[in-house]
Structure 1
Amino acid sequence: MSLLTLFASVQSLAVTVPDLYEASVPVTSNRDAAFIEALRSVVIRVSGRPDAPARLGGALSNPRQYAQRFGFTADNVLQVVFDGVSVDRLLTDAGLPVWGRERPATLVLVNVTTTSGSSYWIDSSAVSAEREVIARAARQRGLPIVWPDMTTQDRTQINADAAATGGEPTALMQTAARYSANAALLGVARSDGAGGMSVRWTLASDDGAVNSTGSLEEGVNLAASTFARVYSASGTSLDNLAVEVSGITTLGAYASTLNYLEGLTLVRGVSVEQVLGDTLKFRLAVRGDATTLRRALALDGRLVPTATSDALPQSAEGLRFRYQP
C-alpha cells in the first residue's frame, strides 16, 4: 500500500491559519523597534523563509506603512495586524515566495528520555515546558500542529517506529491519518542533564521522510521550511489553469466547490466555462503553477484527483478532480 493510499484512507484536513499577518511584541526599548520586530516575525511566517527579513533590507525600516491596525495593551505589548496585500507585494518584490493560509496539519509526537533513563510521551493532556516550547515555535512559524491522545495502540505503534532509525514513514503516516493530520513529526528527545535537550527529528509526509537533529524548536523549523518549499508560490504573474470537477450533482455541491476554489490563497480568480452533466469546467487564475495548486487541493481531500490528473499534473487538458462531499 502506498503512502498516498494510507494518507487518503482517513480524510485529512488542511488548516486555514487566520492570523498569519498578526503579531504581538512586547515593547522593551521603543515602539519603533517593536514594530520592526513585528514585521520581521510576519514576513518569516508568510514567506516560510527564516532569512526573509535579511532579504528585505531597508524595506523593514518603515513597518508602520504596512500596518492595517494596531494598539498597545496595558502591559505595553504591541498588537498589530499588517495588510496582507501589502506584505505579499513586499515579499514578491524582493523575490520571496508567499505561503498561503491553507497549511498542512502536523501531528507532533515527542518522546522524552530523562537523565535517569525513564521516558514519557508528550500528549494532548500534558502540561510541560517541552510542549510549550514547541507550541510557541509553531505559532511563530504559522505551522498548525496536533497533539496525540497517546492511546495504547498509538503508543505501541509509535514506539516501534521510533526504534527504527531511518525507517519507512508508513507507521507515522497511519497514525497521522487517524488524527486527520496531513503529516507527522516524530521527535526522540534526550535530556543532557544541564537543562538542555537533544532531539532526533523525523518528518513524514506524503512526499516521504526528512530528518534533522537539534533543539525542540528544530522540529518545527524542519516542518515549516519543508512545507513552505512545497506549498508556497513565487512571482507576480498568474497562470491560467483549466480545472474539471465531476460529481457535482446538486446546487449545494456547486456552491461549495465554487466557494472553496475562490477561497484558496493561491487562486486569484475563478470562472465557470462549461457545464456537462455532473462535470463543471473552471478556469482559474493561479499564483504559482498546476503542481502547486494540485498539492494545495490535496491537503484536505475535498476534491479528489482522478487518475489522469494525478498522473499528468499539468497538461493541455488541465487538472481533473471529483467532488468529495
Structure 2
Amino acid sequence: MRLKNCLFIGCLSLMSLPALAETVNNLFQVREPVSGQTPDEKTRATQAALETLVTRLTGDAKAAQGATLAEVRKDPQQIISQYGYDAGPPESLQVDFDPASTERALRQAGLALWGSNRPVIMAWWLNDATDGANLVGDGQSSAEPLRRAAQHRGLPLRLPLADLGEQSIGNAKTLDGTDVAPLKQASERYGPDAILAVHAQENGSQWQGKWHLWLGDKMEQGSASGASAAELADAVLLSVSQRLAPRFVVKPGASSSMALEVQGMTLERYAQLVRLLEPFGGRLRSVNGDRVVFDVSGSVDQLRSQLSLARLQEVPAGEVGAAPVDAGQTPAVEAKPGSTNVSLPAGTADQTLHLRW
C-alpha cells in the first residue's frame, strides 16, 4: 500500500503507535510539601504549585510573578480542577490543574509553552557522601529523590542499572569531565535523547553538585546546592529544565510560516513526526512517495531542536534540488492525533526546511 493511502488509514490510530522523546504524564499535576492541612497552609502550597507549574510549562522561573498573571495568582482556582492530600512522606498537597484553561490563561498572558513531548534524559548521578561514593541505579532507594525531582520539574528521566561495568564508567573523573564519549556509549542501550552527568558531594550539612548536560552537539554545565540530596536533585533538574526549554519554546511574535519536507517517511515515523509537530500547528500539505510536506509555524532553530529528537538530519544544500516541494501534491489531514480527515488547500510558506531519516 502506498504511503499516502496508509496515512489516511492510519491517522486515526496514531495514539497506539510509539512516540519519540517521551510524553510527560501528569504534566498538569503538582505536589507541594505541606506542614499541615490548615487553610493558610493550603493557600501557600497552592501558590507554590502554581509557580511550579508555570515554570514547568515555560522554563522561566520568573514567569509566574509577571504582571500578566496577576489575576491568575489572585484566584488560581479558575484553572484548578481538584485538590487532594498525599500522606507521603513527605505530606503534600496535590493540585490538579485543568490543561485547557491553564494553557488558555498562560497564552493570554503572552507566554509560550513547552509541549508534553520532551527529551528523555539519561542521568549518570554519583552521590559522594561521608560514607562513600555511589552511582545511583534504577533499583536503588537513592533513585527516588531523583524521580520525584524529575516529575516536579516535568522531565523524563532514566537511570542506569548501575551494574559493575557502569559503575566503572560513572566515576568522579568521568562525570567531572567534558568528554561525553564514554557516557554516550554506555547510554546507548537506554535510548536517551540527552545525557546528564552529576557529581553530588555531601559537605557538612549541605549537598553541592556539578552537572554537565549534552543534547545533540551542545553541552551545558552548571552547579547547584541544597540542604539535602533531595533538594539538590530538585535544584539541578530545575536548572536543566531552564537550559532545555529555550530550545523548544518560542516567544510570541518570534514565529514565522514555513514548509517542512521530510524524506524517508513510513507510517510509524509519520505518527512520531505528527506528535513532535503539534506545538507548531503542523498541517500535512502533500505526500509524494516517501516524502511528506507539512506547513508549520515557528522558528527554524526551534524546529531543528524539536526534530533532532527524532534523529532527523538536514538535507545538504547541494541535494535539496533533487527533492522539490510540490504544492500541488495530495492534500491530507491536519496533523493532530485523533482528528478526522480534513482536506487542506496547498499552503504557502516563507521558507522550506528539508530533513530526512
TM class by shorter-chain length? 0.7 to 0.9
- TM-score, normalised to structure 1, is 0.77
What SS does the aligned partner of 2:195 have? strand
Match of 1:189 in 2: 200
Mapping of residues 28-43 of structure 1, within 5 Å: 28-30=37-39, 31-43=42-54
Maintained 8 Å contact 2:257/2:351: no
Maintained 8 Å contact 1:45/1:142: yes
Maintained 8 Å contact 1:169/1:209: no
Distance of 2:300 and 2:350 partners within structure 1: 11
Question: Identity across aligned pairs (percent)?
Answer: 25
Maintained 8 Å contact 1:261/1:267: no
Mapping of residues 118-129 of structure 1, within 5 Å: 118-128=132-142
Mapped pair 1:16 → 2:23: yes
Change (3 A) 1:137 1:311: farther
Amino acid at match of 1:15: E
Change (3 A) 1:172 1:160: same
Instruction: Give the deviation of 1:206 after TM superposition.
Output: 1.7
Amino acid at match of 1:271: L
Mapped pair 1:295 → 2:305: yes
Mapped pair 1:156 → 2:168: yes
Maintained 8 Å contact 2:126/2:172: no
Distance of 2:129 and 2:86 partners within structure 1: 40
Mapped pair 1:48 → 2:59: yes
Change (3 A) 1:309 1:66: farther
What SS does the aligned partner of 1:168 have? coil
1:177 to 155, 170, 188: 188
Mapping of residues 96-135 of structure 1, within 5 Å: 96-116=111-131, 118-128=132-142, 131-135=143-147
What SS does the aligned partner of 1:100 have? coil
Distance of 2:213 and 2:147 partners within structure 1: 16
Match of 1:224 in 2: 241
Moved more, 172-181 or 224-233: 172-181
Distance of 1:262 and 1:199 partners within structure 2: 35
Moved more, 52-61 or 223-232: 52-61
Maintained 8 Å contact 1:190/1:197: yes
- TM-score, normalised to structure 2, is 0.71
Mapped pair 1:241 → 2:253: no
**Number of aligned positions between the proteins:** 295
Distance of 1:92 and 1:236 partners within structure 2: 12
What SS does the aligned partner of 2:302 have? helix
Distance of 2:21 and 2:114 partners within structure 1: 14
Instruction: Give the deviation of 1:256 after TM superposition.
Output: 5.4
Match of 2:214 in 1: 204
Maintained 8 Å contact 1:173/1:205: no
Match of 1:322 in 2: 356
Maintained 8 Å contact 2:112/2:249: yes
Instruction: Give the deviation of 1:33 after TM superposition.
Output: 4.4
Distance of 2:57 and 2:101 partners within structure 1: 12
Moved more, 78-87 or 292-301: 78-87
What SS does the aligned partner of 1:281 have? strand
Distance of 1:93 and 1:105 partners within structure 2: 29
Match of 1:305 in 2: 313
RMSD: 3.2
Change (3 A) 1:211 1:79: closer
What SS does the aligned partner of 1:266 have? helix
Instruction: Give the deviation of 1:145 after TM superposition.
Output: 0.7
Instruction: Give the deviation of 1:52 after TM superposition.
Output: 2.0
Amino acid at match of 1:243: L
Change (3 A) 1:232 1:174: farther
Maintained 8 Å contact 2:198/2:210: yes
Amino acid at match of 2:284: S
1:144 to 156, 161, 166: 156
Unaligned runs of 5+ in 2: 1-18, 226-231, 321-348
Unaligned runs of 5+ in 1: 1-11
